[in-house]
Structure 1
């Protein structure tokens, strides 16, 4: 069939020689509703001075026409944005999806939405991406920013100089910026509790698989685990898992190859769920069973933790509560420039399941 013949089967607005219909404008809405563009604009934006029936008619006609307000044009008239930028460090981590979801639930009532910007590219932090995102944040005049990792000093100075409200989640507020608030978890205590539980199993050789050591959450998680080992006469090997499942798998695989079997750790502790996935993959490739051959535990609970075999023992920092707290604090900062920065540290919970050995091995009494 020729193109001319084919066009005969198309509606006129899609025919080759017909002009493609343009997107409906506010003028189209006002004309169809038989009101001025000013009244149509006020009706759609929820402004005062428009009758209930008129507002209802304008909204219905706009929906029928497929009209979408030009947010860019609106931002030129009003500097107040409704976007909250969330700077993340590996969106593949289950932590961030739960955090953003609970954060959005907390700020939606205030008329705000989240825009997620991830500084990780192929498992590695990209300073160029971070720089580009920060420049975009300032260009778009976002309402606020949620920071989940340590920004460069230059980008911190830039955001602070613009007076953009910021809340730090899962990382501490940098020195010199006491005007901002942080919501964190007592990672030291959570990891210490995990270590003491493992010592109760009789494990003497432990391995800690850690995420990028430039993130502020890394140090307390490792320190708490090492403190528990020191107090119970156990040893801890440190494995750099970096920031992806692939790098974690490679690091653990190389570690197991280099060490004689009798020197292997009895338990692996992943500092986040991305690295946990890599550990499980490394053990699967060697046909090793959990916890019969090695126990595996992690920091952070996740939706499927109880459904996989074996269910995973974790330190649960209650990400939903963190997101809600961050959202509430953010709204306070947006509404008032006089809010004083504060540090909120939440207490984590140890959730014991079977990957550590509990209830898994008949007659288990430690090793």
Structure 2
């Protein structure tokens, strides 16, 4: 079996240089790095990760705790995390917290006990125990998709990576208002999630920008899942003055809302218009095709890995929140004809062009 010394002789470098290439502990000239990689490939060298972890106190592994992994949105995030980890020579240990605060804390503890170097977590609506555990054990962590207020009462702060939520939701609302709708409802997500709060705030911002009055009866919580959205959409349709347009706040709830509309025999967009937050692979295959906000889900995953690795390399860096821009995907469920240009709202930018860092 080839050793690190064999690789060094074959590449014409020192054992220390091979170590730096494998562990990323010091910059190596590109041609030298390539020579080492070629020698590794030629000799079939496999690093002894167990021995290396005993020396460096690093396992080159990342713990990922994300609920609803079967959801296409989180599946794409997982793909981004996996690609980012693999690019930097890290493996993943994955757990599903099931959006349950107690289970969330347990699975994060299990990942920590596996000696992962850091965590990437999509937190639940009540992550108090999670944040307390991470703080007690000083675990390098990046929160993704859902933001956590970790500043209260001296709690530690963490890096966070997510998509913009408020402005894209406002844009869906103003688009529907531009098409003449005055009763626009929102099927919002699970109470307590930052994404739910921000999309409700964006909904209200869109109403205000369009000169429409907020009506609390038109905001319902589908709890971020299909069955809940189906139930509350049916309730909206039973109002004395039902909405003429719906905005659904994630892809699972879009499916539930469509089921409720089908059960009532309502056609989209002839009877009711629909816009959704979260684009997904088959949104373009529905009839009508779904007008949606597309989140950069894979990019959220890869950026979370990048931010975590930068934290591991420099623990004293200031913490930051990275928000990535979304894209408005104009199709026909909003009521616009196929191939038509999107109406422009005078006070609204044409696109979500910039993410933000704080």
TM-score by length of 1: 0.74
Deviation at 1:146, TM superposition (A): 1.1
- The correspondence for 1:92, drawn from 65, 70, 83, is 70
- Contact kept, 8 Å, 1:209 with 1:239, in 2: the verdict is yes
Counterpart of 1:323 in structure 2 is 301
Contact 1:90 1:243 in 2 (8 A): no
Q: Which position in structure 2 is the counterpart of 1:37?
A: none
Deviation at 1:78, TM superposition (A): 6.3
Distance 1:254 1:70 in 2: 59
Distance 2:243 2:295 in 1: 26
Structure 1 counterpart of 2:275, from 293, 297, 312: 297
| 1:248-285 alpha-carbon deviations (Å, 9 max, x no partner) | 112222332x324xx22111111110111111111122
**Offset, 1:180:** 2.4
1:209-233 superposed Cα distances (whole Å, 9 cap, x missing partner): 1111111111111111112113324
Determine if the alignment matches structure 1 residue 142 to structure 2 residue 120: no
**Cα distance in 2 between the residues matched to 1:84 and 1:131:** 16
Shift in Å at residue 162 of structure 1?
2.3
Within 1, Cα distance between the matches of 2:227 and 2:49? 40
The equivalent position to 2:239 in structure 1, one of 256, 259, 272, is: 259
Evaluate the alpha carbon distance shift between residue 48 and residue 251 of structure 1 in structure 2; reply closer, same or farther with a 3 A threshold: farther
Match of 1:174 among 140, 144, 149: 149
Deviations 1:2-25 (A, max 9, x none): xxxxxxxxxxxxxxxxxxxxxxxx
Q: Any stretches of 5+ residues in structure 2 without a counterpart? A: 11-38, 344-358
Aligned to 1:48: 5
Q: Secondary structure at the match of 1:328?
A: helix
Q: How many residues align?
A: 306
After superposition, the C-alpha distances for 1:40-70 in whole angstroms (9 at most, x for unaligned) are 4xx3xx6334676x9889959x9xxxxxx99
1:245 maps to 226
Unaligned runs of 5+ in 1: 1-39, 63-68
Shift of 1:299: 0.9
- The aligned residue for residue 25 of structure 2 is none
CA contact (8 A) 2:63 2:112 kept: no
Offset at 1:313? 0.9
Alignment partners' CA distance in 2, 1:265 and 1:245:
19
Aligned-partner Cα distance in 1 for 2:250–2:297: 13
Task: Tell me the equivalent position of 1:196.
Answer: 174
Query: C-alpha distance in 1, partners of 2:271/2:146?
Result: 35
Helix, strand or coil at the partner of 2:269: coil
Tell me if the contact between 2:101 and 2:129 (Cα under 8 Å) persists in the aligned partners: no
- How far apart, in 2, do the equivalents of 1:115 and 1:270 lie? 32
Whole-Å separation in 2 of the counterparts to 1:250 and 1:74 = 53
* Native 8 Å contact 2:123 2:148 kept in 1: no
Deviations 1:136-174 (A, max 9, x none): 022111121112224632321221232222112122243
1:134 Cα offset (Å) = 1.8
> 2-side partners of 1:343 and 1:361: how far apart?
37
For residues 324 and 55 of structure 2, the distance between their equivalents in structure 1, rounded to whole angstroms, comes to 41
Alignment-derived partner of residue 210 in structure 2 = 232
Give the TM-score of the pair, scaled to structure 2. Answer: 0.76
Alignment CA distance shift 1:81-1:181 (3 Å): same
Which of residues 34, 44, 58 is equivalent to 1:80? Answer: 58
Q: 1:105 aligns with which of 83, 93, 96?
A: 83
Tell me how far 1:133 sits from its aligned partner. Answer: 0.3
97, 101, 105: which is aligned to 1:131?
Answer: 105
Q: Is the 8 A contact 2:148 2:194 kept in 1?
A: no
Instruction: Tell me, yes or no, if the aligned pair for 1:138 and 1:159 is still in contact at 8 Å.
Output: no
User: Aligned match of 2:190 in 191, 212, 222?
Assistant: 212
Which residue of 2 is the match for residue 117 of structure 1?
Answer: 95
Match for residue 22 of structure 2? Answer: none
Larger Rg: 1
Q: Distance in 2 between matches of 1:96 and 1:104?
A: 12
Could you list the per-position Cα deviations for residues 94-131 of structure 1 after superposition, in whole angstroms to 9, with x for gaps in the alignment? 211111101221221211133332222xxxx3233212
**Structure 1 residues 309 and 154: alpha-carbon distance in aligned structure 2, compared to 1, 3 A threshold:** same
